[in-house]
Amino acid sequence: MKRTSMFLTALATATVMATGAFAQTFTIGLSNGWVGSEWRTQMIDEAVAAAEAWALNGVTVNVIVQSANVDVQGQIAHVRNYINQGVDAIIINPNSPTAFDPIFAQAAAAGILTISTDAEVSSPDALYVGIDQKGWAMMSAAWLAEELGGTGRVVAINGIAGHPANQMRVEGYQEVFAGFPGIELVNEVNANWDQAQGQQAMQTILATFGDIDGVWVQDGMADGAWRAIEDAGRVGDIVATGEIRADFIGRWAEQGYTTGASVNPPGVMASALNVAVLKLLGTELKDGVFEGRYGNALYLPIPFIDQGVFDDVMAAVDGMPGHHSVSEVVGPDAARNMFFQ
Per CB under 8 A, does 32 bind other proteins? Answer: yes
Residue of 58, 102, 210, 256 interacting with other proteins (CB under 8 A) = 102
Determine how many CB atoms are found less than 10 A away from the CB of residue 277.
Answer: 26
* 52 secondary structure, DSSP code: H
Q: Does 167 bind other proteins (CB under 8 A)?
A: yes
Instruction: Give least dist CB 261 to other proteins, A.
Output: 24
User: What string marks each residue from 47 to 66 as x (binds other proteins by CB under 8 A) or -?
Assistant: -----------------xxx
Measured CA to CA, the distance from residue 115 to residue 125 in angstroms comes to 9
Residue 35 engages other proteins in binding (rule: CB under 8 A): yes
| The only residue of 24, 81, 195, 283 in contact with other proteins, by rule CB under 8 A | 81
- The residue from 38, 101, 184, 230 that contacts other proteins (CB under 8 A) is 101
Ramachandran angles phi, psi of 126, nearest 5° = -125, 160
What is the number of other CB atoms lying within 10 angstroms of the CB of residue 265?
28
Of 16 and 70, CB closest to other proteins: 70
**Which residues lie closer than 8 Å to 162 by C-beta, 6 or more apart?**
none
82: left (phi over 0), alpha (psi -120 to 50) or beta: alpha
Please say whether the beta carbons of 114 and 122 come within 8 A: no
Strand 152-158 vs strand 183-190: parallel, antiparallel, or unpaired?
parallel
Minimum distance from residue 103 beta carbon to other proteins (Å): 8
Q: At what angle do helices 101-109 and 72-85 cross, to 10 degrees?
A: 0
Among 89, 99, 131, 316, the residue binding other proteins under the rule CB under 8 A is: 99
Residue 111 in the binding site for other proteins (CB under 8 A): no
Nearest alpha carbon to residue 324 among 5, 43, 26: 43
Per rule CB under 8 A, count of chain residues that contact other proteins: 39
Interaction between residue 67 and other proteins (CB under 8 A): yes
Using CB under 8 A as the criterion, which residues of the chain lie in contact with other proteins when the complex forms?
32, 35, 41, 44, 64-74, 76-78, 80-81, 83-85, 96-103, 106, 122, 160-164, 167
